[in-house]
Amino acid sequence: MIALQSLISLVFLLGLMVLYNQYRVDRLRDQLFALRDKLFDEARSGRVRFDSEGYRVARAVCNGMVRFAHEISIADFLAWRLLTPSWLAENSQKAFEQAFSAMSADEREVCRTYLSKMHRCVLEHLASSPFLVLTLVVPVMMVLLTRAGIDGIAVAAARLKGPFRSLDALAIAEGGDSVLATR
């Protein structure tokens, strides 16, 4: 009976993991669509020319990320990084530089900002991978629990208060709230 319950639990967890991965891909696509729309709005407002090569490159990168979001995983990312021939990476970098060199500094900044935001979305997608959680976070927590016990985790959490305060301050600044200014 216990074996059957364990099997049912594993199947249920696997199903949740599949649903969670689908959610992650949908979330990434939604974020990329929103960024692409904002980039379009920047061009419509005149901050970037529609016919500039840099705008086309930024839009093509976003479209490619949207199209292949279901294939963006840690394993694929590492494989692409390790197996991409150096000449291809160099040619891509030259194409980016050439596309952006013909733009004004303001246009270049707008396009690079959106490319950075796209990259951040992909990194967040990779960091939310259940594979990453299962292979890195869970084992580290298990080691901490067995070596130092709960007290060790409390000490580690206390040491992280400084970085979390910085993160909180950035989040408040990004959110545009003036919560701290009213106190």
Distance, in Å, from the CA atom of 21 to the CA atom of 17, rounded to the nearest integer, reads 6
Give the pLDDT confidence of 4-27 residue by residue, as tens digits.
Answer: 888 898 888 888 888 888 999 999
Distance, in Å, from the CA atom of 33 to the CA atom of 24, rounded to the nearest integer, reads 14
The sign of the torsion formed by the CA atoms of 109, 117, 165, 148 equals: negative
State pTM to two decimals: 0.67
Determine the longest span between alpha carbons in the chain, in angstroms: 70
Please check the confidence at residue 104 and state whether its pLDDT lies above 80: yes
pLDDT of 28 reads: 94
pLDDT of 181 reads: 47
Of residues 181 and 155, the one with the higher pLDDT is: 155
Phi-psi region of 160 (alpha: psi -120 to 50; beta: other; left: phi over 0): alpha
pLDDT of 182 reads: 46
pLDDT of 174 reads: 58
Mean pLDDT of 139-159: 67
pLDDT of 180 reads: 47
Ranges 38-42, 113-117, 168-172: which has the least confidence? 168-172
pLDDT of 98 reads: 84
pLDDT of 7 reads: 85
Please check the confidence at residue 86 and state whether its pLDDT lies above 70: yes
- How is 2-69 classified by DSSP, letter by letter? HHHHHHHHHHHHHHHHHHHHHHHHHHHHHHHHHHHHHHHHHHHTTSS-TT-HHHHHHHHHHHHHHHTG
